[in-house]
Amino acid sequence: GQNIDQPTEMTATEGAIVQINCTYQTSGFNGLFWYQQHAGEAPTFLSYNVLDGLEEKGRFSSFLSRSKGYSYLLLKELQMKDSASYLCAVRDSNYQLIWGAGTKLIIKP
């Protein structure tokens, strides 16, 4: 079967750095997405990786290793507004998105 694993919840301090991991086993691979979702709101796109390596976009970076079935989202200089759920999603060989359950990130002052 297809499976995506992320930690359920993480806590970090304002101004610090946090890394959210995602491991996947899917039928084929056509890209990995990270979305941010604030409570009661729609998911918003953060990043996309299809080749191995690091993609940097401001305070957020995302890394992919296809051989290990592994990705992480790195958030720097954390702000209170970064408190949200972070969803990892993999596009499989049929171009269907397989979603992880999401990681709830709690930022403390």
d(CA 24, CA 10): 19
In whole angstroms, the minimum distance from the beta carbon of 96 to another protein comes to: 7
Verify binding: residue 106, another protein, rule CB under 8 A.
Answer: no
Q: Site residues for another protein, window 7-36 (CB under 8 A)?
A: 30-31, 33, 35
**Taking the CB of residue 83, how many other CB atoms lie within 10 A of it?**
17
- Residue 50 sits in the site that holds another protein (CB under 8 A): yes
Q: Which of 63, 73, 82, 100 binds another protein (CB under 8 A)?
A: 100
Residues 90 and 49: their CA atoms lie apart, in Å, by 10
Cβ nearer to another protein, comparing 78 with 91: 91
Can you point out the beta strands (E) in the chain? Answer: 3-5, 9-13, 18-25, 32-37, 44-49, 53-57, 60-65, 70-75, 84-91, 97-99, 103-108
What residue ranges bind another protein (CB under 8 A)? Answer: 30-31, 33, 35, 40-45, 48, 50, 87, 89, 91, 95-97, 99-102, 104
